[in-house]
Amino acid sequence: MAHNRFKHGSGVYQCAVCQRRTRATVESCDDVGYCGPCYDLAGLQNSMWDDGQEDWIVKARDGLLAKIIRGKGNEQAVRSHFSALFTTPIPEAQ
């Protein structure tokens, strides 16, 4: 999900996971204190717990982590917070 539309009049806050400064978006992920990518990682981790590790989850996870790193987020904090998402064995390339 794209979190690219800020709510009008919203203030800046620090993501509770990656520590990046962000603003509330129209998609309302600010109620948990996460930036958009960390909110999406939480959803991926939930999907993994429900359905198991799947290739699409790994690809989405890696893309979101890259976005957080580009935005100068704390990679180690993200990996620690979503440890189940990052410690589950990744399927080997075919």
Sequence letter at residue 72: K
Which own/partner contact pairs does 7-11 have at CB distance under 8 Å and 24+ positions apart? Answer: none
In whole angstroms, what is the distance from residue 1 CA to residue 84 CA?
A: 21
Could you read off the pLDDT of 40-92 as tens digits, one per residue? 999 999 999 888 878 889 899 999 999 999 999 999 999 999 999 988 655 54
Domain locations in the chain? 12-87
Look at residues 27, 94, 84, 37 and name the one whose alpha carbon lies nearest to residue 60: 37
In whole angstroms, what is the distance from residue 21 CA to residue 85 CA?
A: 23
Could you read off the pLDDT of 2-15 as tens digits, one per residue? 555 555 556 788 99
In whole angstroms, what is the distance from residue 92 CA to residue 43 CA?
A: 23
- pTM confidence score: 0.79
